[in-house]
Amino acid sequence: MTIGSSPTEPLDLAVIGARTVGAVLARAWAGAGHRVTIGVRHPDAPEVAALAAELGAACTATTPAAAIAGATVVICAIPGSAMAGFVAEHAPALGGRIVIDATNDLSEGAHDPSAIGDLARLAPTALAYRAFNSVGWENLTNPMFGAVRADLFFAGPDGAGRGTVARLIADAGPRPVYVGAGDDAHRAVDALATLWFCLAFGQGWGRRLAFRALSAADG
Ligand SMILES: NC(=O)c1ccc[n+]([C@@H]2O[C@H](COP(=O)([O-])OP(=O)(O)OC[C@H]3O[C@@H](n4cnc5c(N)ncnc54)[C@H](OP(=O)(O)O)[C@@H]3O)[C@@H](O)[C@H]2O)c1
Ligand 1 atom 7: residue of nearest CA: 133
Report the nearest-CA residue for atom 24 of ligand 1. Answer: 78
Asked whether 115 and 55 are in contact (CB, 8 A), the reply is no
Q: What is the pTM of this model?
A: 0.97
Mutate to test the pocket of ligand 1, among 15, 20, 42, 141 (most ligand atoms within 8 A of CB): 20
At residue 5, the pLDDT reads 60
Interval between CA 204 and ligand 1 midpoint (Å): 24
- pLDDT digits over 159-206, tens only? 989 999 999 999 999 999 999 999 999 999 999 999 999 999 999 999
Ligand 1 centroid to Cα of residue 78, in Å, is 3
Please report the pLDDT score of residue 27 as a whole number: 98
Q: Measuring from each residue's beta carbon to the nearest atom of ligand 1, which residues come in under 6 Å? A: 17-22, 40-42, 45, 77-80, 82, 86, 102-104, 132-133, 136-137
How far is C-alpha 66 from the geometric centre of its chain's CA atoms?
Answer: 19
pLDDT for res 160: 86
pLDDT tens string 115-172: 999 999 999 999 999 999 999 999 999 999 999 999 999 999 999 899 999 999 999 9
162-172 and 21-31 helices, crossing angle to 10°:
90
Residue closest by Cα to atom 15 of ligand 1: 20
Query: Average pLDDT of the chain?
Result: 96
Nearest-atom index, ligand 1, CA of 138 = 3
Atom index in ligand 1 nearest the CA of residue 104 equals 47
Ligand 1 centre distance from Cα of residue 41 (Å):
12
Torsion from C-alpha of 137, 174, 61, 11, nearest 10 degrees = -160
Residue 8 has pLDDT above 90, yes or no: no
